[in-house]
Amino acid sequence: MKWDIFIQRQPLASEMFIKSYEKNRLAHAYLLEGAKGTGKLEAATLLIQGILCLQNNNLEPCFTCTNCVRIEHGNHPDVHIISPEGQSIKKDQIVFLQQEFHKAGVESNQKFYIIEHADRMTNSAANSLLKFLEEPHKGTMAFLLTEQLHRILPTILSRCQHIPFHLIPSHLLLDDLLQAGVHSSLAPLIAQLTNNVDKGVELSQNEWFAQARRIVLKLYEVLKKDPLIAMVSLQEDWMAHFKEKEQLEVGLDLLLLIYKDLFSVHVFGEHAELCYPDFRDKWTADVLQISLQAVTKKQEAVLESKKNIGSNMNTHLLMEQLVLNLQGSRPLYKVIGVRFKKAGKIYYFDPGDLVISLHDYVIVETVRGIEYGKVVIEEKWVDEHDVVLPLKKVTRIADTKDKLSVEENKSASKEAYEICCQKIDQHELDMKLVDVEYTFDRNKVIFYFTADGRVDFRDLVKDLASIFRTRIELRQIGVRDEAKMLGGIGPCGRMLCCSTFLGDFEPVSIKMAKDQNLSLNPSKISGLCGRLMCCLKYENDEYEEAKQLLPDIGEYVTTPQGKGKVVGLNILERLMQIDIPSIERVVEYSLEEMQGAKASSVQATE
């Protein structure tokens, strides 16, 4: 970039640089702030080239001498450029920069450093740089580049000269793109994505960008169809093409500009200036089927997704949530599943911005207070009907100290169990103590017990409160909960389901045993708790589904060999034994055979 172009594009910034140079009052640090593509890096490079140019042509670089060429290619020994490593600029990068500037210049008595995305510095990196800015070395000049001024520390901002870079007027950029040979159908779109003509021309010739535009337009179309189709398109096309976060940002920008066009057509009609001018007729037809308010909500949904890209949010989840929101589905909530006991109920919590993995331990706030739980369901999106609102957030990820506290609470619970048993005997109460549990913050001790009837334990509570000096809760539980807490080995020889993996108890009835043709002997179908075994529920749905397809015993059906009476059923294998009088024997048919022969008509039971 030359000065005449810089003056035309950024008159205010260029004037500040030129006047400062003419008065020999160039600052030791500049903060160049502006949107992406406004030429911040090019401006910093231009100023450095003008200062170090061997032709010394009053700040106008020649672009041909060795200094100008090396600066342009980023390999001049006295010019250092720092960029984020991953998502941020680390302290080590700033320390390395400080060490470099303690050394004398290799080819001149001046040194320059450019920090791109200065707003992404970690706190330690920013503090290290602050000391560097407070005590600058002679002959050094810094350029801090940022797109988000509000994220720069005030202490750093106060030590730099702030120079704003404004967006290049769209009509000028559009004219330049058209003159550079960019097709008229692409130029308006590219003008919205970059403020740099050279990058715009490069985009117009990029096959990846052309494919990205097609995929975004395809996604817009399938969003009007069935959600399943949209999800398939998302996985097959979108996620395969937009692999990196930078690429995903481009994809979301392209999608956002479609809704910007729809908004413009709604408001300005045929006079609307479009980013996709070759789709004017289609947008005009589409706005007849969508309200202005709906378009605005879709824009908000895309902007929210763009905002979440900067965090460590899973990109697949982000796009799935966006697709559902754009299709007008109910709100979804990002959750993790946390369990507080080995086989307890699973509760949903909002992970917020924390990066939480499966099997991590977390600290959360519940109605009981602060609790320590294990993540058993990793981050996912769920419907609003699957959560209890308001959804509580995860406080933090548990550390070693928290784990030690949990172990101490378990030891204290055993002591509390012994003391409580002694007190129950002293008060001669008709109750059986099952378990004792301290809450994580030790604000409460919960005593679980069983009893045949109501128990007056007021005196017991007073004694326990005087001993433990904390809140006391005595909670009566049923025999199923007792078995869940105590555990044991079931009739099948395995550990009890309720104490190993069941979260909630589901209703179980004697009808389930009848449907499964089980013996109704109580000792055969009852668990250690004395209630019907939970496993009766496991296959019950399969039996119920099969029974709907099969006739009942005693019903008459028409078979390929004549009319007969159903005398037996094998429900799971879909088999039926039919007594056919015409051939004087019982024949076994499968459901498929009966349906294939179209002989499954059922007559009334005699």
State percent of the chain over pLDDT 70. Answer: 96
pTM across the whole model: 0.47
Between the alpha carbon of residue 13 and those of residues 10, 143, 145, 251, the distances in Å are 6, 13, 13, 31
DSSP secondary structure of 4-56 = HHHHHH-HHHHHHHHHHHHTT---SEEEEEE-TTSSHHHHHHHHHHHHH-TT-
Q: How confident is the model at residue 164 (pLDDT cuts 50, 70, 90)?
A: very high
Q: 20 pLDDT exceeds 70?
A: yes
CATH number of 3-165: 3.40.50.300
For residue 418, what are its two tokens?
């012994």
Q: 600 pLDDT exceeds 60?
A: no
Instruction: State the Cα–Cα distance between residues 401 and 399, nearest whole angstrom.
Output: 5
Going from N- to C-terminal start, the domains of the chain cover 3-165, 206-326, 332-398, 405-477, 484-538, 546-603
What does the pLDDT read at residue 424? Answer: 95
What is the domain class of 405-477 according to CATH? Answer: alpha beta
Instruction: State the Cα–Cα distance between residues 535 and 354, nearest whole angstrom.
Output: 38
What does the pLDDT read at residue 426? Answer: 94
DSSP code, position 237: I
| Mean pLDDT along residues 22-42 | 87
> Of 158, 226, 170, which is closest to residue 194 (Cα–Cα)?
170
Contact 197, 177 (CB under 8 A): yes
Contact 32, 146 (CB under 8 A): yes
Q: Is the peptide bond before 84 cis (omega within 30 degrees of 0)?
A: no
The fold of 206-326 is Zinc Finger, Delta Prime; domain 3 (1.20.272)
φ, ψ of residue 455 to 5 degrees: the values are: -120, 130
Instruction: State the Cα–Cα distance between residues 233 and 323, nearest whole angstrom.
Output: 10
DSSP code, position 418: H
CATH number of 546-603: 2.40.10
Instruction: State the Cα–Cα distance between residues 153 and 151, nearest whole angstrom.
Output: 6
Could you report the per-residue pLDDT of 533-572, keeping only the tens digit for each?
999 888 888 888 888 888 888 888 888 888 889 998 888 7
Average pLDDT for the chain: 87
Could you report the per-residue pLDDT of 258-302, keeping only the tens digit for each?
999 999 999 998 888 899 999 999 999 888 878 888 889 899 989
Contact 65, 54 (CB under 8 A): yes
For residue 188, what are its two tokens?
């308006």
Q: 325 pLDDT exceeds 90?
A: no
Contact 563, 553 (CB under 8 A): no
DSSP code, position 393: B
> Of 77, 141, 73, 134, which is closest to residue 103 (Cα–Cα)?
77
Neighbours of 203 (CB within 10 A): 22
Could you report the per-residue pLDDT of 348-405, keeping only the tens digit for each?
999 988 999 999 999 999 988 899 999 999 988 776 777 888 889 999 999 999 999 9
Contact 238, 319 (CB under 8 A): yes
Q: Are strands 140-146 and 29-34 parallel, antiparallel or unpaired?
A: parallel
